[in-house]
Amino acid sequence: MAKQRLTIILQTLRGELTVPEACARLGICEARFHALRSAWLQDALELLEPRQLGRPPHPADVSELQSRLQALETQNEQLRHQLAASEVRRELAHVLPHVVHPTSPTPKKGATHPRSPELPPLP
């Protein structure tokens, strides 16, 4: 039905049909025909207007964005604490290297190092 209406409207625009003939084929009055033709032409004109390329953006879910923001703020706070602790550890290692990296204890007399070969006792 829509294709038939479009064909008849186009025929009137090309001058192939008169408006009264078109109204007789469609079974409508002239006022209704003019309203249909005007509406169709207006819609066609709007379709020809330039539009943004691509798909229209999806509306954002506010609650989802708020929960994501909260999670990122929590993660940011944790990372700031970790950075501060790392800075303190770095400063301690620089100022007190023997505390952060303890030196190996001196072996007791007579004790052997596990990697060194056994030596005979001294006389």
Whole-angstrom distance, CA of residue 73 vs CA of residue 77: 6
Tell me if the pTM is above 0.85: no
35 DSSP assignment? H
**Cα 48 to the chain's mean position, in Å?**
31
Burial-class residue 36 by CB neighbours within 10 Å (0-12, 13-18, 19+): middle
Helix 2-14, helix 19-26: angle, nearest 10: 170
The per-residue pLDDT string of the chain (123 residues; one tens digit each, 9 = 90 and over) reads: 889 999 999 999 999 999 999 999 999 999 999 999 999 999 999 999 888 888 888 888 888 899 999 999 999 999 999 999 999 989 888 888 877 666 666 666 665 555 555 555 555
CB 100 within 8 Å of CB 91: no
Residue 6 CB coordination number (10 Å): 13
CB 119 within 8 Å of CB 112: yes
SS3 (DSSP) at 41:
helix
